[in-house]
C-alpha cells in the first residue's frame, strides 16, 4: 500500500514537472533550429514553432498528452516527414 502511494506521488510529481517544463519552454530557445511540440492533437501536420519546418505525420495516432495532444508510435509505419531549412 505504501509503495503504491509512493509510485502515485512520483507520477503526479513527474506530470507536474512536465507541464512546468512545457510552459517554461513555450518560447523558442536561441540556437534551436526546429521545435515540434507534437501537441496539436489532430490533423496530420506536426508544426515547427521555430523555422517553419512543418512535418507530415504518417501512421501514428493522436492521444491525450501532458500538454495538449501526443503522438503514439507503435513501430509500424510511423514517421514524420519534413524538410529542414536551417536559415
Ligand atoms: Ca502505426
What confidence score (pLDDT) does residue 11 get?
A: 43
Q: pLDDT class for 22, splitting at 50, 70, 90? A: low
Q: What is the mean pLDDT of residues 42-70?
A: 92
Q: pLDDT class for 76, splitting at 50, 70, 90? A: very high
In the reported structure, the alpha carbon of residue 4 is separated from the centroid of ligand 1 by a whole-number distance in angstroms of: 32
In the reported structure, the alpha carbon of residue 32 is separated from the centroid of ligand 1 by a whole-number distance in angstroms of: 28
Q: What is the mean pLDDT of residues 59-79?
A: 92
In the reported structure, the alpha carbon of residue 61 is separated from the centroid of ligand 1 by a whole-number distance in angstroms of: 7
Q: What is the mean pLDDT of residues 18-41?
A: 72
CA distances from residue 61 to 27, 41, 55, 56, 58 in whole angstroms, order as listed? 26, 9, 15, 13, 9
Which residues keep their CB under 5 angstroms from ion ligand 1?
A: 59, 74, 76-78
In the reported structure, the alpha carbon of residue 25 is separated from the centroid of ligand 1 by a whole-number distance in angstroms of: 29
* Gap between the Cα atoms of 7 and 36, Å rounded: 30
What DSSP state is assigned to residue 28? Answer: P
Domain boundary assignment for the chain: 2-82
In the reported structure, the alpha carbon of residue 62 is separated from the centroid of ligand 1 by a whole-number distance in angstroms of: 11
49 pLDDT higher than 80: yes
Amino acid at each position: 500500500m505504501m509503495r503504491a502511494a509512493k509510485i502515485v506521488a512520483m507520477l503526479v510529481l513527474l506530470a507536474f514537472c512536465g507541464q512546468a517544463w512545457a510552459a517554461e519552454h513555450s518560447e523558442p530557445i536561441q540556437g534551436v533550429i526546429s521545435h515540434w511540440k507534437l501537441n496539436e492533437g489532430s490533423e496530420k501536420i506536426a508544426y515547427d514553432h521555430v523555422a517553419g519546418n512543418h512535418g507530415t505525420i504518417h501512421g501514428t495516432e493522436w492521444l491525450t498528452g501532458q500538454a495538449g495532444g501526443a503522438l503514439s508510435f507503435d513501430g509500424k509505419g510511423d514517421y514524420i516527414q519534413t524538410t529542414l531549412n536551417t536559415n
